[in-house]
Amino acid sequence: MIKNMTLVEYLTSVSKRLPEEADKVLNVLVTEGHMNKEELSLVSRVKRAVLDHVIMQLYALGLVDVYSEGKSKICSLTTLGEEYHDVVRKTEAV
């Protein structure tokens, strides 16, 4: 059934499968911009162990990018992540 889905329908179905912590992380990255995992954990109020799992899920979907800066891992929203956030917010408002 996936082959007949639009991008909006696909992204909406993805949002239903992700844990609620993923929304918290994405909201923080949208409002605050890129940040290291320690800051992201504190600001989004997601435990660090859970954050690592959520980041890997978002990374696998192409919504978040992770890169090293010294010893820190920096997380940032991708263009697809921004579009995903916009689509999910619009569908929730309807």
Which helix (DSSP H) or strand (DSSP E) does residue 41 occupy?
helix 37-44
**Structure confidence at residue 5 as a pLDDT band (50, 70, 90):** confident
Q: Does residue 51 sit within a domain?
A: yes
62 three-class SS: coil
Alpha-carbon distance of 11 to 1, in angstroms, equals 14
Q: Is the pLDDT of residue 72 over 70?
A: yes
Q: What is the mean pLDDT of residues 64-75?
A: 92
Exposed / middle / buried, residue 75 (Cβ in 10 Å: 0-12, 13-18, 19+):
buried
Q: Does residue 58 sit within a domain?
A: yes
Q: Is the pLDDT of residue 91 over 80?
A: no
Please report, for residues 31, 53, 62, the alpha-carbon distance to residue 80 in angstroms, rounded to integers and kept in the order given. Answer: 16, 19, 7
Full-model pTM:
0.86
pLDDT on residue 76:
95
In this structure, what CATH number is given to the domain that contains residue 29? 1.10.10.10
pLDDT on residue 4:
83
Total domains in the chain come to: 1
